[in-house]
């Protein structure tokens, strides 16, 4: 396989890819992650992952002579048909966690891989259903006080203390963390 570049600043994605046995470089890119409201939720997430890949490609081509594959991802927590995003502040984190309490939501991760020399682009959206137990206000505020929810879609991290809120899941656990490794392996095997 051609050299792999993960265009993400997520330490969770880096860890999952490493644990899966991949050798890769990490070169984060910054783009606007404001979703295109003219697209459905799946298309919005795919669009963001694709925009990340397309932003990374010219930057990487400028510094590399050999062909490579760039991998990007975008994860969203979907509730009531729309994305919840990351909390703006403590009160917003409370609002999100209160919404999720006692209900299920979906975690969607779009992955996109682009081969630098041919421009071949492949993508996939993985879905996992996450069922939360009923949460008390005290549990929610204690969790918010840890600071963990503040940079997470859906205001929780399943790989951290947020896992105590989860009753069960249907689908890949690593998808909820931020990178569905089996889907990535399948995508990369097509290059």
Burial string for 85-105 (b: 16+ CB within 10 Å, else e) reads: bbbeeeebbbbbbebbbeeeb
Active site residue 137: no
**Catalytic-labelled residue, pool 25, 47, 74, 151:** 74
CA distances 42 to 33, 75, 179, Å, are 14, 11, 16
The CA radius of gyration of the chain, in Å to the nearest whole number, is 17
Please give the structure tokens belonging to residue 70: 């760039």
Burial of 49 (0-12, 13-18, 19+ CB in 10 A): buried
Residue 139 host element (H or E):
helix 137-145
82-83 and 69-79 strand pairing: antiparallel
As annotated, the active-site residues are 74
């Amino acid at each position: 396989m051609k050299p792999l570049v993960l265009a993400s600043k997520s330490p969770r994605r880096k860890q999952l890819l490493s644990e899966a046995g991949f050798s890769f470089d990490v070169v984060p890119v910054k783009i606007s992650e404001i979703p295109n409201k003219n697209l459905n939720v799946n298309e919005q997430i795919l669009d963001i992952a694709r925009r990340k890949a397309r932003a990374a490609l010219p930057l990487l081509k400028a510094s590399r002579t050999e062909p490579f594959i760039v991998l990007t991802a975008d994860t969203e927590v979907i509730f009531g048909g729309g994305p919840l995003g990351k909390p703006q502040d403590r009160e917003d984190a409370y609002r999100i966690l209160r919404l999720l309490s006692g209900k299920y939501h979906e975690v969607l991760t779009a992955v996109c891989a682009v081969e630098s020399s041919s421009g071949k682009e492949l993508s996939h959206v993985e879905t996992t259903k996450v069922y939360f137990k009923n949460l008390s206000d005290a549990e929610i505020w204690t969790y918010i006080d840890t600071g963990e929810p503040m940079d997470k879609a859906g205001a929780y991290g399943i790989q951290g203390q947020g896992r105590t809120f989860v009753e069960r899941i249907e689908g890949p656990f690593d998808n909820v963390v931020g990178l569905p490794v089996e889907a990535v392996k399948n995508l990369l095997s097509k290059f």
